[in-house]
Amino acid sequence: MCSQHPSEELNKKRHSAAHLLAMAIKQIRPDALFGIGPVVDDGFYYDVETAEPLTESDLKQIEKRMKKLIGQKISFERSEMSISDAKEKFSALGQKYKVEIIDDLAQGGETIVSIYTSKDFADLCRGPHVENSGEIDASALKITRLAGAYWKSDEKREQLTRICGILFDTKEELDAHLTQIEEAKKRDHRKLGKELDLFTFSELVGGGLPLFTPKGTLLRDLIVEKIQTLQKKFGYQKVTIPHITKKDLYETSGHWAKFGDELFKVKGQSDQEFVMKPMNCPHHTQIYAARQRSYRDLPVRFMETTMVYRDEQAGELLGLSRVRSISQDDGHVFCTPQQIESEVGGIVSVIKDFYTSLNMFNDGDYWVSVSVRDPQTPEKYLGDPTKWDVAEKTLEEIAQKENLPYKRVEGEAAFYGPKLDFMFRDAIGREWQLATAQLDFVMPERFGLEYTDEANSKQTPVMIHRAIAGSLERFLSVIIEHFAGAFPLWLSPVQIAVIPVSEKFNDYGKSVCDALSEAEFRTELYDQSETLGKRIRLAEKEKMPYILVVGEKEVADKTVSVRSRDNGDEGVVALTSFISKLS
């Protein structure tokens, strides 16, 4: 999730607020040892270790002290110090985590570090900060919560306490954000997933490994089926790959050097090392490479919805948002350079149709990041810089031709190529990156992929990576919260609840279910031995798009009494008319 991109000035205020947070903590816990205190999407945090643990009851006192410091208009004075002097200074202060950071900087080749001092408090920090704390609006600040955080995200290291705060430019913006947080709590996909019986987790299975119920599995299948139906007309073909591979595959692709620490290693009876696949694209290159290809065969389009595995830290796992088993809606196109525009155009068309069916592709509800290299860090990217130039220019031209509301964003490219990242705003204003189309000149070269052109010469194809929903788990977490569990009709696992007034009308209720099922609607008969009111409330709690109540009059007239989730009581209609309307 990300909020509106904060301005540079707001980030400076948030960075300065983190510094003030450390000062306030030091006042109530003089023994505090400080880890890191970065800016995040809506504010800042600081990781600390104290002899006596901080508790929720300390948060108000910390906030009060911070606001007092803001009122004192404390300056942030920058100075530089050699690595050795800085290590000596923070060692004398007993700040072992700062000393470790300094050692890491030294190993990375740094010789000078910057220190920011406010009154008698000094902190190792790159900055920048505001001139003085008076530039921060104290009424727009709130310390919100405590959390646990392993030092350097390493479960084998010390567990620190993370104190989180929110800061905006004005109190009005803070209040709006707090309202959004409260609404988000009501929509929390972990809570709704349990209430709607969509998925569960098991200690015996392990963290980050969700188990989907029949309703949750149907929800996943409906999403996959929708995407596959939309892209069928563009010539995509299903493929299937294994879940493990030799590490050689990822050494060739470049993923091993970048993400080797995040992979699950597997060993069989031999000494050969395998890994659980963390992505599918290298496997798909091998299906392409299995036979000779001519320019007449291109484009070759593969699609697959399959699971990949990443060894995420336990502290970073969060419901379906961050998991270790990831079901990817994946697709790869191998084409000539001349075919790039039409192929990416087809992907954009599928994205548009899919998100329109979710009512999320409206003006103002989405924008597109043309994600390109960071020119300051060329070492992060593989391949020929001139081909990167071509790829970035091509994607930006496609964004223009497709009339996409786009911005060019540096530093967000994949290590193998630039991307069109589709950013969607949900019902409560949060922003999520979901669909993507990525242009890759690198991997086909690394794998030696070829096709024969019109002149019978060997050429290297271009590879286009595409995802419409991306990770199904993360996508589900987003749309469960976006719809607050009240999915559109086509996506609801159960579309219609049929509720007989009493047991003697169960047979008619079942015949209504049968007629609806024959018309290909998903129905459920609520014939439990509960009161009518209780059964209606249960169906409403389960967010049914339609509830049909049947009693003596409905049996006699072959009608149903219709309650719509969106419109309430819609009156009594003939069953045939109701089916015709929905169809």
Which DSSP string corresponds to 186-242? HH-HHHHHHHTT-EE--TTT-TT--EE-HHHHHHHHHHHHHHHHHHHTTT-EE----
Q: Which is the catalytic residue, given 95, 328, 459, 495? A: 328
Helix, strand or coil for residue 322? strand
Reference 491, options 304, 227, 192; nearest CA is 227
Q: Which is the catalytic residue, given 98, 142, 231, 281? A: 281
332 part of the active site: yes
438 part of the active site: no
Q: Which is the catalytic residue, given 19, 129, 387, 465? A: 465
Helix, strand or coil for residue 301? strand
Q: Which is the catalytic residue, given 47, 58, 329, 330? A: 330
- The kind and range of the H/E element at 89 are helix 83-92
What does the alpha-carbon distance between residue 580 and residue 583 come to, in Å, rounded to a whole number?
5
Q: Which is the catalytic residue, given 13, 19, 65, 419? A: 419
Q: Which is the catalytic residue, given 12, 142, 189, 310? A: 310
For 478-516, give one letter per residue: b (16+ CB within 10 A) or e. bbbbbbbbbbeeebbbbbbbbbbbeeebeebbeebbebb
Reference 522, options 503, 542, 546; nearest CA is 546
> How many other CB atoms are there within 10 angstroms of residue 4's CB atom?
13
Q: Are 336 and 220 in contact (CB under 8 A)?
A: no
186 part of the active site: no
Q: Are 326 and 473 in contact (CB under 8 A)?
A: yes
CA atoms within 13 A on the CB side of 431: 16
What does the alpha-carbon distance between residue 519 and residue 513 come to, in Å, rounded to a whole number?
10
419 part of the active site: yes
Query: Quick one: tokens of 446?
Result: 């690394």
Helix, strand or coil for residue 409? strand
Report cis status (omega within 30 of 0) of the bond before 299. Answer: yes
Q: Are 115 and 124 in contact (CB under 8 A)?
A: yes
What does the alpha-carbon distance between residue 219 and residue 472 come to, in Å, rounded to a whole number?
10
Reference 191, options 323, 327, 319, 322; nearest CA is 319
19 part of the active site: no
Q: Which is the catalytic residue, given 13, 187, 332, 543? A: 332
Query: Quick one: tokens of 326?
Result: 């990831």
Residues designated as active site: 281, 310, 328, 330, 332, 419, 465
